[in-house]
Chains A and B, each alone.
Chain A
Amino acid sequence: MLELINSFISGLTQIFVWSTFGLMLLGIAIGFVVGILPGLGGPATIALMLPFIVKMRPVEAFAILLGMASVLATTGDITSVLFGVPGEPTTAATIIDGHAMAKKGQAGRALGAVLMSSLVGAVFGAFVLALFIPVVRPLVLTFGSPELFMLAILGLTFIASLSGGALLKALLGAGIGLFLATVGMDPQSGIQRFTFGQVFLWDGVGLVPITMGFFAIPEIIDLGIQRSSIATGQIERLGGVMQGIRDTFRHWWLVMRCSALGTFCAIIPGMGPSVSQWLAYAQALQSSKEKERFGKGAVEGVLGPGAANNSAMGGSLITTVAFGVPASVLMAILIGAFLIQGIVPGPDMLIPEAKGGHLGLTFSFVWIVVVSNIITVAVCLLFLNQLVKITYVRGSVVIPIILLLIYLGTFAEKNAFPDLVLMLFFGVLGWIMQRLHWPRPPFILGLVLGNLAESRLFLSVNNYGLAWLSRPAVLVIMALTLAGAFYPLVKRMREKREEKEDGAAVSGPTAQQKKRLQFNWASAFSLALVLIFGAALWQSRTFSFTAGFFPWVIGFPVFVFAMIQLLFDLTGRKARKGHDDDMEEAGADLPKHVVNLRTANVFMWTFAWFLSIWLFGFTIGAPLCTFIQLKMGEREGWLLTLLLTATAWAFIYFGFDLLLHVPFPKGQLFIWLKGFSSI
């Protein structure tokens, strides 16, 4: 016990050495810039630091690396709130209510809330790491494949909470997400599922392009329709940020719960901040008495994910440090750093120095995370008011910037051009779903949990046959799952009964509508789903049992549900409105043809960017499109246009090309020209 405390304190004192502290500040500074700009990928930049840490002492090396990593989630939240573009894939959930608040002119409050909850989450996670060190190994080792599978299923029950009233659509969305997770090479049987011969799709569909397209594209379309700045309405009172901070303390238990959720998920191999941010959001929603506020700017919808994605750092460090199992690409790089330093992650990291271990070093990590977060939040608070001003810049200038960030962010994740196509595809899908009032979070949750569920199911069955179903931990989680699945349903049935007793109108088809079938966009979308799933199931008829099991178990119910939904849409029956959709729709006060025109306009520019980048490459294509869009599309002045174009070019060239060596593909036009000249 005494050695434990010794290590705890020595960890703290180790970081307050000038060289170490200075490096930590440097790491924070770099992480700040990297995190706030989607695309300057955290992992890529940290990988760049690896050569420099070779000569440092371990605590110095990790001061800079962890200083960077700790900051990423926090600053990623800032981008999510201000622009509706996920700064990191783990900050996508913050967009839903955070960006909604920004649009209402409450950006300061949203940022204050997200920063404070991030800080609380990070500190919580770090201290959990510290406290649980003695028990963490046995705890994690009890979670074998069967337990992990059940946890994935438990995670899926949160879908019900995320659906608001549109349960069928939520289930469908989740089903689509789960099905999409099967795309790629099935590691079980080695066959290709739904890849259409594209080697690019072997690893499945990437989370970053999907998240980018799904959330960011509908946001810029809304922006284009509004033709105003991100924030409409009055300028927020200066106390906005402080109010956000107060909100964090007002909802203290929520923040605590979501921090715990984030830490716990991060400890579980396979889950992590990508999952826990949505579970936290669902938690916040479920525990609120006024669920309709969510999606329109409820501060709890910001607090939950904000805490969860930062507390994940503590949890991820546990699995990385104590087991050498990287929870994410970032953690994998940290393990690489460990190895370069000659340290082996494992039980040694949890043994005090007095007994020959590295516990003091581990505790120094804890302290670095805590101190980095405190410094980051303090710095952010200083600049917050300036950041908030961005939401008042006119949309015509902001849209090209956001497009630049979206394209760069999507590409820089895997350096794969086809990701841009994927992003566009999901951008269109996300927009359709938003327009037709389909809740989007269940889809993402299905996607991130799909792989975990399938792989762990097969590992369990291969290993234990069916005996795993009777393991004690499995039974406990199963009970929780059933409770979690049925509780919201029971609650809503009760609410519905109360509504009926109050004589509230049940929104069914009116007498007139009943007479004819509604052939509208909603029906068209449902029909498309039916057809696509039909085709997918048909294609999967040649799969072997192991390859086909998951697709069939998911695909057939989805197919049936899609047909039911089609029926609902054709007969005009409306489900209760979900919460994801109801920001007062952009342009609700504008005539329809104007909305359509502006929507088409934004789409056109989005595709123009794609074309420009494809033909001319990033370094030329992006600034080129910036220029054309600002000058000819938006008719901005020469000075502003040239300034922004130059900045875009400098950003790409110096930041990505020279510094990060991001391997941009050559513009197609130049490839053709070269082909011609060699003839």
Chain B
Amino acid sequence: MRKALWLTAVVLIALSPQITLGAAPFYEGKTIRVTVGVSAGGGFDNEARILARHMPKYIPGKPTIIVENITGAGGLICANQLYKLAAPDGLTFSHFNGGFLFAQVLEQPGIEFDARKFTYLGAVSMENAVLFVTKASGITSIEQFMSSKTPIKLGGTGIGAYAPDAIIKIWKAVSAMPAQLIGPYKGGADVRLACESGELAGSVISWDAMKSAWGKRFDSGEARVIMQAVAKPRPDLPKVPTDMMLAKTDEGRQLIDIGVHLNNVFARPFVLGPGVPKERADLLRSAFQKTMGDKEFVDEILKAKLGADPVTGEEVEQAVLNAFKTPKPLVQKLKEIYYK
């Protein structure tokens, strides 16, 4: 009898921390994987790596976050894998080209996920593409561009790529833009080289990439930004017209609204797979949100010349759901524009 009492006492004492403090946080001692859909070294990948260094601070249990590159098909393989293979335990999330989420709306073959079932943690930055031309092209404004008698050669990186190809094609579809899409170049860097050698007159790239990769050459006037592909002008580009000015009809406005501006919101998403328990998903979302406000995080992002224009998980989710509400005729029109 005594022995049993002793035993019980010992057990109770041993367990007491558990009992009093509650169970240890789920993420304690765990490792979270972030799978990135492109190979290491680019801005996209850097974003994930910088996030991985700062987000653990805001997750109870302070797990380690590691980055894995799952490349292929521009990030589609990564997206498919997240949907089909990741366990719904909240230990994996992904960073891939959000254009694929829209591609599902356009019924592109090869999509093996349902974007509506993902949980969106948010985005470090909205996409914010700009149209630029080189000094050598002689173009100084969008009006001059539009009134050019000869087609102006803009570089593209391939069918299905959101920027620059899809954007340029949408612009051409809604206006009589005299642009000739020359491509596909292997990547933004090759487009840039072709611009420098005079083979191209310009292209459409993200404003952050412009500031980082073109850097001083932009400042010195080597490259001029003449239009921005965003709904509201950026604070650091107040005088540059937005692309909505190209649309002359309601349909044109809708095409730009959905095809470009809506896509901007979910272009660089951090995505959690389907089926994750709500408390964990919310925990991660809120940790993501707090990281966006973390000073060290923002400093590192800016130092790496990435954009810090965060979007919350809810906003991304709403944008994706809105994309799926696109009326059928517009979907049809966009399909023609994208894939012709």
Known: A325-B192, A342-B303, A344-B213. A459 touches B40 (CB 8 A): no
Binds A, one of B41-49, B141-149, B275-283, B311-319: B41-49
Bound Cα distance from A372 to B120, whole angstroms: 45
- B73 and A199 contact, CB distance less than 8 A: yes
Tell me whether A332 and B40 are in contact in the complex, defined as CB-CB below 8 angstroms, given that A51-B49, A414-B71 are known contacts.
Answer: yes
Contact flag A51-B53 (CB < 8 Å), given A323-B193, A455-B186, A661-B68: yes
Contacts of A662 in B (CB 8 A): 68
Which of B127-135, B177-185, B233-241 is near enough to bind chain A?
B177-185
Answer yes or no: B160 CB below 8 A from chain A CBs.
yes
Stretch at the interface among A14-22, A187-195, A235-243, A578-586: A187-195
Say whether, besides A50-B49, A199-B112, A329-B39, A415 and B69 are in contact (CB < 8 Å): yes
* Residue numbers in B under 8 Å from A467 (CB-CB): none
B interface size (C-beta, 8 A): 59
Q: Are A347 and B217 in touch, CB under 8 angstroms?
A: yes
A44 partner residues in chain B, CB cutoff 8 A: 40, 69
Counting CB contacts under 8 A, is B105 at the interface?
no
Given contacts A199-B110, A455-B184, contact A43 B40 (CB under 8 A): yes
Docked-complex contact B190 and A325, CB < 8 angstroms: yes
Selected from A270, A329, A348, the residue in CB contact (under 8 A) with B40 is: A329
Residues of B close to A187: CB separation below 8 A:
157-159, 183-184
* Given A336-B46, A663-B70, A188:B159 Cβ within 8 A: yes
Q: List A contacts of B68 (CB < 8 A).
A: 415, 661-663
Chain B proximity mask over A649-676: 1 for CB below 8 Å, otherwise 0? 0000000000001110000000000000
In the complex, chain B residues whose CB is within 8 Å of the CB of A341: 303
A339 and B305: CB pair below 8 A? yes
Interface presence of A430 (CB below 8 A): no
A54 to B109, CA, bound (A): 40
Question: In the complex the two chains form, what is the Cα distance from A324 to B213 in whole Å?
Answer: 7
A232 CB-CB contact with B under 8 Å: no
Residues of B within 8 Å of A427, CB to CB, are: none
With a cutoff of 8 Å between Cβ atoms, the chain A residues found around residue B214 in the complex are 346
Give the chain A neighbours of B76 by CB distance below 8 A: 199, 202
Partner pick for A462 among B43, B73, B182, CB 8 A cutoff:
B182
Per-position 1/0 for B173-207, Cβ under 8 A of A: 00000001011111001101110111110000000
Which residues of B, 132-168, contact A by the 8 Å Cβ criterion?
A: 153, 157-160
Q: Assuming the A-B contacts A203-B72, A342-B305, are A329 and B41 also in contact, with contact meaning beta carbons closer than 8 angstroms in the complex?
A: yes
**Bound-state Cα–Cα, A326 to B213, Å:** 12
Q: Is the CB of B41 within 8 A of A332?
A: yes
Binding stretch for chain B, among A107-115, A141-149, A400-408, A437-445 = A141-149
Tell whether A13 is near chain B: CB-to-CB under 8 Å. no
* B49 CB to nearest A CB, Å: 6
CA distance A336 to B38 in the complex (A): 13
Give the most central of B41, B45, B157, B196: most A CB within 10 Å.
B41
Question: Does A12 touch B at the CB level, under 8 Å?
Answer: no
Answer whether A142 and B213 are a contact pair too, CB < 8 Å, given A199-B110, A202-B73.
Answer: no
| Interface residue? A269 (CB, 8 A) | yes
B231 in the interface, Cβ–Cβ < 8 Å?
Answer: no
In the bound complex, CA of A345 to CA of B46 (Å): 16
Kindly provide the distance from the CB of B65 to the nearest chain A CB, expressed in whole angstroms.
11
Cβ contacts A46-81/B at 8 Å (1 or 0 each): 110011001000000000000000000000000000
Contact (Cβ within 8 A) B184 A326:
no
Q: In the complex, what residue of chain B is closest to A186 when comparing beta carbons?
A: B159
CB-based contact A326/B216 at 8 Å? no
- Assess whether B125 is interfacial by the CB under 8 Å rule: no
Task: Name the B residues within 8 Å of A346 (CB-CB).
Answer: 213-217
Contact A326 to B189, CB < 8 A, known contacts A199-B73, A663-B68:
yes
Q: Are B196 and A47 in touch, CB under 8 angstroms?
A: no
In the assembled complex, how far is the CB of residue B137 from the closest CB belonging to chain A, in whole angstroms? 14
Complex Cα distance, B158 from A228, in Å, reads 52
**A393 sits at the interface (CB 8 A):** no
Given A202-B72, A415-B70, A269:B39 Cβ within 8 A:
no
Verify A336–B40 contact, CB threshold 8 A.
yes
Query: B-facing mask of A341-355, CB < 8 A → 1, else 0?
Result: 110111110000000
What distance in Å separates the Cβ of B44 from its nearest Cβ neighbour in chain A?
A: 10
Given A50-B40, A414-B72, A145–B194 Cβ distance below 8 Å?
Answer: yes
Tell me whether A333 is interfacial, beta carbon within 8 Å.
yes
A643 at the interface (CB under 8 A from B): no
Distance A332 CA – B190 CA, assembled complex (angstroms)? 12
Q: Which residues of A contact B303 (CB under 8 A)?
A: 340-342
> Cβ of A332: which chain B residues have Cβ within 8 Å of it?
39-42
A336, B217: Cβ atoms closer than 8 Å:
no
A140→B158 CA distance, assembly (Å): 24
Q: Does A487 contact B (CB under 8 A)?
A: no
Neighbour of A333 across the interface among B40, B185, B216, B306, CB < 8 A: B40
Q: B159 — which chain A residues lie within 8 A by C-beta?
A: 187-190
A348-B73 in contact (CB<8A) = no
Q: How far is the CA of A556 from the CA of B73 in the complex (A)?
A: 28
Nearest to B36 among chain A residues (CB) is A47
> Interface digits, A198-234 against B, CB 8 Å rule (1 contact, 0 not)?
0110110000000000000000000000000000000
A269 touches B42 (CB 8 A): no
The reply to whether A463 and B72 form a contact with Cβ atoms under 8 Å apart is no
Check A340 against B72 for contact (C-beta < 8 Å). Answer: no
Q: Is the CB of A144 within 8 A of B194?
A: yes
A334 within 8 A of B: yes
Which B residues are CB-close (under 8 A) to A144? 194, 197-199
B66, CB-defined interface residue at 8 Å: yes
CB–CB A663/B35 < 8 A: yes
Report whether B45 and A663 are in contact in the complex, using a CB–CB cutoff of 8 Å: no
The smallest C-beta distance from A170 to any residue of chain B, in angstroms, reads 28
CB neighbours (8 Å) of A347 from chain B are: 216-217
Q: How far is the CA of A416 from the CA of B339 in the complex (A)?
A: 28
**B 59-78 contacts with A by CB, 8 A:** 66-74, 76-77
User: Do A459 and B185 touch (CB < 8 A)?
Assistant: yes
Is A154's CB within 8 Å of the partner chain B? no
Q: In whole Å, how far is A110's beta carbon from the nearest beta carbon of chain B?
A: 33
A432 within 8 A of B: no
A332 vs B159: C-alpha distance in the bound complex, in angstroms? 23
Contact B73 A339 (CB under 8 A): no
Residue of B nearest to A143 (CB): B197
Known contacts A414-B71, A415-B70; is A333 also within 8 Å of B49 by CB? Answer: no
Residue among A202, A270, A331 with the highest chain B CB neighbour number at 10 A: A202
Chain B residues, Cβ within 8 Å of A455: 184-186
Q: Is the CB of A190 within 8 A of B215?
A: no
Please name the 5 residue pairs, one residue from A and one from B, whose CB atoms are nearest each other, closest first: A190-B159, A47-B40, A336-B41, A333-B41, A332-B41
Of the A-B pairs whose beta carbons lie under 8 Å apart in the complex, a sample of 25, sorted by A's number, is A43-B41, A44-B40, A47-B45, A187-B157, A188-B159, A199-B77, A200-B73, A202-B72, A202-B77, A203-B72, A325-B189, A329-B41, A331-B41, A333-B40, A334-B41, A335-B42, A336-B46, A340-B300, A342-B303, A344-B216, A347-B216, A661-B68, A662-B68, A663-B35, A663-B70
Interface residues of B (CB under 8 A from A): 33, 35, 39-43, 45-46, 49, 53, 66-74, 76-77, 80, 109-110, 112, 153, 157-160, 180, 182-186, 189-190, 192-194, 196-200, 212-217, 300, 303-306, 339
A residues neighboring B (CB under 8 Å):
43-44, 46-47, 50-51, 54, 140-145, 185, 187-190, 192, 199-200, 202-203, 269-270, 323-326, 329, 331-337, 339-342, 344-348, 414-416, 455, 459, 462-463, 661-663
- Besides the contacts A202-B72, A337-B41, A455-B186, what 7 more A-B pairs have beta carbons closer than 8 Å? A140-B197, A189-B159, A199-B112, A200-B72, A332-B40, A415-B71, A459-B182
